[in-house]
Structure 1
Amino acid sequence: MPMTSSSSGSSTESWDFSTTSSEDLEDLQLVVEPDVLDRCGKRIKCAFFSHSLQRNGANVYLLHLCSWLIDEFEVDLVSPKDGPMRADFEALGVNCSAISPSKENHRERQLLKQAQYTFVLCNTIMRAEVAVIAEEMGTPCVWVVHEAWPQDQFEYYAKEVFLMDHIDSALLHRAFSLCTRIIFPANVQKELYAGLYKDGAALCIYNGIPLDAIDEFVKSNTREEVRYAMGYEPDDFLIVQVGTVCNRKGQLYSAKAFVKLVEAGAHPNAKLLMVGARYIRDHEIKYIDEINAVVAKAGLQDRVKILDCQDDVFPFYLAADVVLQPSLNEVLPLCICEAMAFERPVIATRIDGIPEALDHHREGLLIPPADEVALKLAIKSLVDNEDERVRLGVNGRKRVQEQFSYRNMINQYKDFINNIVENDVRVQTPVRTPSTTRGFKQWEDTVTVLVDLDNTVVDWDKEFTKRWIAAGNPASDADVIKKRKRFEIEQNFNAQQTELVIKVIAQPGFYAQLEPFPKALWALQTMLQSGIDVKLVTSPHPCCRAQCTIEKYEWVAKHLGDEWFKRLIITADKTAVRGDILIDDKPAVVGSMKPQWKHVLFNASYNEKVTGKPRLTAWEDWERAVLPPSHHKIRRSFGA
């Protein structure tokens, strides 16, 4: 590990953290938290394989995922061809490239071999060939299947709907049989593809909606302003459908239902707006022509618009009175959740994963597919009832907050991906070795004491309180923090404050500037000198793992010295670390293994109701919690 001289020019050496390598970390006997390597010289590399760079739901999901990953991984995105969303990914720092798929897949295989990715993610069923290659080569692979293709129609959807010549039924069957990490955005897909994948291979993670971005847009824009920009009047009843204009999305039924609605005289100023025309596939162009023919026959060209795909769809949700999704084949489209996030009532077909997102007459209305009469009646029921539109919209927003939170999605993917990375690069905890006694009394068997840092050695709450109030929050919150009853700090505030809490924790310097509790440093040194094998075992905060890890090293260097680096273990799972005693403030420390250590609670307001565990209330009394009674005089030898 590179070192630098002190500013005074003396021979004192300090660690240069900016150039730390993964090999150096191994020398320090660190249990590597997967994303730590990002800031330590050797960035973890991963690759995303997408079926296109067109603007669609699957790629928007991928963009959301990249917005988290890019801070902790080096991300390559590989697509068969270019598209408008390339600029979005590159703005995040993602490396984009194009590799056309082929039957032989030579280029994909060569890329995986040369790049040595820690893991790859295949986005959509149409990257099945990469999933197969990765599994055959032993590269950890996550296959995210957004589609709902009936098993007996694999050939039809691959060849005729999506024009993917390199995909056939045999390839899809092989991909499902090989892959051990399949993610579905809806539970209904587990049933749809049942029998194709191995037991335990599939997991459902709902796609999340970035509510912060939506709320910011609503604060900065008014419904009247966005309507004016689109050419609509305040008293227009605007019916909106967002999504690729194609047969499976059912826009033709929206047009037919709208014609019947106008013929019934439902609303004199009713307008229909469909957003998402691409004009890149012949069957989609023909479908658009068919819609235009229906509209023209009814003489409603001035009341129906079809717009191309848009970079920003938020204005259309804000402008809408009702949002439609009369799909014929669908999993769980993002546009339904986005509309609900804007508190807009949704009318959708009762197919595939859609009923997992909304209940009939609770967040919206569900109708049979391919039924323009049912669609027209559903629209009319909302045209005539503004109170019902508001009620459905409010319920929809609550549903998104509960089920489709962006943070929930990211946290699930963090756990999933960190599991993969940890199994690939984790350095095992070293076998302990006895310390020298340095002339002080030692007992027969060396004891290993594992000590947590945050709110055990250092006063984490004090630093958080200072920064929280400095961020403009009321000073009275200091008492809330001091008396908090929940271990996770954000759970002591209301849900709307969660993002603010995370922002404070992620501030640069937070962990480096934590103050030690009274006598904590003395206790650590005393334990070590008395022959106890002391290890600092700490977990980086999930909102800033890399930054947190580096700052914990800086803290150790400042307060304990470089020689303690070999006693620092950073891990998300403390149960995997061997020891006799763990001193930790967390009420219950659980993980993947049955721990070998005894848990000693370091006293805190949120663990005061825990019984049946020994407790340490102050570091000057450490020996009472750690040592057998015959050794309780040790601390007197060190001038406590």
Structure 2
Amino acid sequence: MNKAQKNPIRVLMLGAGLDVKGGITSVEKLILQHTPPELEIEHVATFAYGSAFRNVKVFLQAVRILIQRLLKSEIDLIHIHFSERGSTLRKMLLILIASRFNKPIILHAHGATYQEFFSGLPQFVQKIVVGIFKKCTKLITLSKTWQDYYARAFQLQAKQVETLYNPVSVPLQVPQRSDRERTTFIFLGRIGKRGGALDSQSIVSFPQQDKGAFDLIHAFAALPESERSLSKLILAGNGDVELAQQKVEELNLSDSIIIHSWLSPVERDALLAAADVFVLPSYHEGLPMSMLEAMAWGLPVIVTPVGGIPEVVIHEHNGLFVEPGNQPQLTCTMQHLVNSPSLKAALGKAAREDVQALDIQNYMPLLVDIYQSVLKPSAIRKLERSSR
């Protein structure tokens, strides 16, 4: 729990455990690390890595803490992070509990494949989800595109939905890259497809989520020898790491392609500082944290125009677009940047400048504004009186 001043707004934040690898956790950590004096945030995990038994235990603990805080009136609002599949099922129960106590409920949508997941639910299940999620006071989305979708899907009023782009921590300085002879491409994220026809966390089918790691490996392998000899590819993440390594060995590219498992923030930043171009040829996205982190480090990005990405990346201004699954186009785009050092520098410079607006120092006041907007005037007056 982060305590800062006598009577801050007390927030109970429910979401993925802080040891879980992924974008939701990255956002949670940034918020917790940069909590301003006017907030007091208690984070409670609703999901963690481990066995099904451990996850049931973690979730029941979250339910217990939520009920305890509500019964004792120890919180002013509830902030719930959610995505597709089992996350939606878990958060439905939490929303039902919280709504009984007349406290503001803020939902924070993160799911990259939520539209496909939701449309694949039986109609009667969709109605149940909508009926429960409509109880929220505010729903935060990662882009205007997602804002429009959730407003329609959950039948929300315009005032209930608001866009808040993901935050990023922008380093004060980035390395000079113009004198590098070799172009290092970097991919950060899940390697391979997530799940299949049925996920262990869910009772319903869902679409595969693919960030295009294997497309990238094949696209790099297809580079002409003249460009490939001047390039290197680094992939880091969780998922099918061993399978990716096997594919690299099959292609006889172990000297040019390096595979890492999930990295710590320090290790990630070291790789971003050493890299020249970020590549994320995803099929689905919310607003990828890895892309924002790369832009903050002054890297040009090669990405796909999916999810909220087109609201941050402008083609040929701060990055380049390729279509999902189009490996020849990806190869050509990588080849183009290998041969265009001035373009790499210009795109990277613009990327770093543009992402400054999403720095966590700019994000937190916006989040505070949202928190204050959902509190009833009487609750705000009570906080003001008690702080005198």
Common fold: TM-score over 0.5: yes
Pick aligned residue for 2:233 from 272, 289, 312: 272
Structure 1 letter corresponding to 2:257: V
Kindly provide the CA deviation profile for residues 538-573 of structure 1, in whole angstroms up to 9, marking residues without a partner as x: x9xxxxxx9xx7xxx7xxxxxxxxxxxxxxxxxxxx
Unaligned runs of 5+ in 1: 1-34, 85-96, 158-167, 225-232, 278-283, 430-538, 540-545, 554-640
Secondary structure of the corresponding residue to residue 227 of structure 2 = coil
1:204 aligns with 163
Q: Matches of residues 101-140 of structure 1 in structure 2 within 5 Å? A: 101=59, 107=64, 110-116=67-73, 117-125=75-83, 126=87, 128-129=91-92, 130-140=94-104
Tell me if the contact between 1:176 and 1:197 (Cα under 8 Å) persists in the aligned partners.
no
Residue 330 of structure 1, CA deviation: 0.4
- Give the Å deviation of 1:413: 0.9
Q: Partner residue of 2:203?
A: none
Q: Report the CA distance between 1:307 and its aligned residue.
A: 1.2
Q: Distance in 2 between matches of 1:80 and 1:198?
A: 25
TM-score where L is the length of structure 2: 0.79
2:147 maps to a residue whose letter is K
- 1:221-260 equivalence runs, <5 A: 235-247=181-193, 248-260=210-222
Find the counterpart in structure 2 of residue 439 from structure 1.
none
Question: Which amino acid counterpart does residue 293 of structure 1 have in structure 2?
Answer: Q
1:391-540 aligned at under 5 Å gives the runs 391-401=346-356, 403-421=357-375, 423=377, 425-427=379-381
Query: What fraction of aligned residue pairs are identical, expressed as a percent?
Result: 21
CA offset digits 1:84-124 (Å, max 9, x no partner): 9xxxxxxxxxxxx995336x996365334335321111112
Matched, 1:80 2:26: no
Q: Is the 8 A contact 1:118 1:140 kept in 2?
A: yes
Q: Out of 319, 339, 344, which is 2:274 matched to?
A: 319
Deviation at 1:270, TM superposition (A): 1.6
Structure 1 counterpart of 2:259, one-letter code: I
CA distance in 1 between counterparts of 2:120 and 2:212 reads 18
Change (3 A) 1:345 1:39: closer
> 2 CA distance for matches of 1:122 and 1:55?
18
Distance 1:81 1:331 in 2: 20
Pick from 90, 98, 111 the counterpart of residue 147 of structure 1: 111
| Counterpart code for 1:145 | A
1:83 is displaced (CA, Å) by: 6.5
Mapping 1:380-395, distance limit 5 Å: 380-395=335-350
How far the C-alpha of 1:128 sits from its partner, in A, is 2.5
Structure 1: how far apart are the matches of 2:211 and 2:39? 35
Amino acid in structure 2 at the alignment position of 1:61:
V
Which secondary structure does the structure 2 equivalent of 1:361 belong to? coil
Cα 1:363–1:306, aligned 2, differ >3 Å: closer, same or farther?
same
CA contact (8 A) 1:328 1:369 kept: yes
Structure 1 length as normaliser, TM-score?
0.50
- Asked whether the equivalents of residues 24 and 81 of structure 2 are also in contact (C-alpha less than 8 Å), the reply is yes
Residues 99, 107 of structure 1: 8 Å contact kept: no
1:198 CA displacement = 1.4
- Select the structure of larger CA radius of gyration: 1
Q: What are the within-5 Å matches in structure 2 for residues 609-620 of structure 1?
A: none
Q: What does residue 198 of structure 2 align with?
A: none
Distance 1:135 1:310 in 2: 38
Shift of 1:393: 0.9
1:213-228 correspondence runs (5 A):
214-215=171-172, 218=174
Query: Are 1:190 and 2:147 matched, yes or no?
Result: yes
Q: 1:410/1:39 Cα in 2 relative to 1: closer, same or farther (>3 Å)?
A: closer
Give, in angstroms, the shift of residue 424 of structure 1: 5.4
What is the match of residue 174 of structure 1?
Answer: 131
Where in structure 2 are the equivalents of 1:574-589 lying within 5 Å? none
Where does residue 307 of structure 1 map in the other structure? 260
Amino acid at match of 1:410: M
Partner of 1:366: 321
SS, match of residue 78 in structure 1: strand
User: SS in structure 1 opposite 2:226?
Assistant: coil
Secondary structure of the residue that 1:328 maps to in structure 2? coil
Larger RCO of the pair (alpha carbons < 8 Å, separation 6+): 2
Alpha-carbon distance, 1:376 to partner = 0.8
Deviation string 1:24-80 (CA, Å, 9 cap, x unpaired) is xxxxxxxxxxx9x9633x665321111232132222212222234363443221113
Contact 2:12–2:79 (Cα < 8 Å) also in 1:
yes
User: What is the one-letter code of the residue matched to 1:393?
Assistant: G
Code of the residue aligned with 1:185 in structure 2: it is: L
SS of the aligned residue for 2:134 comes to: helix
Query: Residue 155 of structure 2 aligns to a residue in which SS?
Result: coil
2:36–2:364 contact (8 Å) kept in structure 1:
no
RMSD: 3.4
- CA pair 74-367 structure 1, distance change in 2 beyond 3 A: same
Are the aligned partners of 2:281 and 2:302 in contact in 1 as well (CA < 8 Å)? yes
Give unmatched runs, 5+ long, in structure 2. Answer: 194-209
Q: Is the 8 A contact 2:211 2:284 kept in 1?
A: yes
Q: Residues 292 and 38 (structure 1 numbering): CA distance in 2 closer, same or farther, change over 3 Å?
A: closer
